Amino acid sequence: MGKALAVSPLAPASFPDLPVIDGVRFSTIAAGVRYQGRTDVMLALLDPGTAVAGAFTRSATRSAPVLDCQEKISGDGAGSGAAILVNSGNSNAFTGKGGVEAVRAIADATAQATGVPQARVFTSSTGVIGEPLPFDRITAKLDALAGTLDAGGISEAAKAIMTTDTFPKGAAAEVSIDGKTVRIAGIAKGSGMIAPDMATMLVYIFTDAKIARSDLQALVSASNETTFNCITVDSDTSTSDTLLVAATGASGVEVTGHDGFADGLHGVMIDLAHQVVRDGEGATKFVEITVTGARTDRDAKTHALSVANSPLVKTAIAGEDANWGRVVMAVGKSGAEADRDLLSIRFGDVLVAEKGWVSPGYSEADAAAHMKGQNLRIAVDIGLGCGAATVWTCDLTHGYIDINADYRS
């Protein structure tokens, strides 16, 4: 990771102006966990009364921080506030008992520095797998972190959690409820090792809404299925995926059952999910794949992910080749029900194939023109039922190899 990475051509023009969320403060610091000359630790301190919900990787080799968060997430401790401590550069995954001890040491030090109970300290680590986390470099900085907390520090927090990311990721929404404003702001990191099985990244979302933990968890779990669980960069599910959503209640606005809040939260989550794909390692194309007409929604998602994860489809996209035969292949191998003679495929608005054969009106030039854009759409109708799903991915270029071939150097 010694080489500076060029900013993705799919990156937003700038980091968004995120609102201050009352009830949460941020600080960052350079601890030298792995990187030199940049911040690599983030602390978020949440006021008493904060509800915390989350989702985590389902990997069988998930990291010590993930396991610790999973144990704590359903605990009843909102009255004591909470803290989130994140380091980049080392994932503390596949590190045995030492990894567990590192999490405990960091959580204990964070609790001591902030006054938050250890059971309400949520930690995350991201970076290289299989190397011991030099946690003493982090614990040595806890007092300094606690002493520089700032309600307006979320943009710096987004930078501190980056690894191979080429730009920091943020999104926000405001929702009006009974004439009062509820604010939502979130940050994320993610660039490689991205495949649906929760989120495959680190995501932290904050709101001043007042909501019970169980209701917040239900909203997070539901939105997760159609946002972070519908993106893929390289089909590889991380050991460290963590999504935490914290509701401080500082606005005093109750949002239980309010569709506007659910929509606002979903909007922030889908925005962040798309940004992760747009920062896919080596990506030059952002691709939306929609499958309709499947026997069930589940079948539709299976087909869509098979297309999205196909190296042959992704390299064709990188080469701007309207090779619809590779889409046919990916649908056929997915394992979900399909009928060759009922399939239809579109690249953008161009119908390229139908009824088991190339469309009579197919224009190679029109399809090729669509493939030259940065934002592409591939649509497949299976012709069997009403099931539908949409997933998002990127192309596969030599840049992905360049980044990952020397990731530990």
Q: Tell me the catalytic residues.
A: 200
Q: How far is CA 336 from CA 132, 299, 390, in A?
A: 41, 5, 15
Cα 25 to Cα 189: distance, rounded to the nearest angstrom: 19
Tell me how far apart the 2 most distant CA atoms of the chain are, in Å: 71
Kind plus residue range of the DSSP H or E element containing 287: strand 286-294
* Of 282, 45, 240, 273, nearest in space to 169 by CA: 273
CB 133 within 8 A of CB 90: yes
- The rounded distance, in Å, linking the Cα atoms of 124 and 89 is 11
Task: Classify the phi-psi angles of 22: left when phi > 0, otherwise alpha if psi is within -120 to 50, otherwise beta.
Answer: beta
| Residue reference for tokens 């009824």 | 355
- Spell out the residues 6+ positions from residue 179 whose beta carbon is closer than 8 angstroms to its own: none
CB distance 168 to 15 below 8 Å = yes
Q: In degrees rounded to 5, what are phi and psi of residue 289?
A: -120, 120
The DSSP bridge pattern shows strands 357-358 and 350-354 to be antiparallel
Q: What is the DSSP string of 232-266?
A: -SSSPPPS--EEEEEE--TT--B-TT-HHHHHHHH
Quote the distance between the C-alpha of residue 179 and its chain's center. 32
Q: How far apart are CA 357 and CA 19, in angstroms?
A: 52
With a CB cutoff of 8 Å and minimum separation 6, the contacts of 240 are: 57, 62, 63, 65, 66, 91, 93, 124, 125, 126, 202
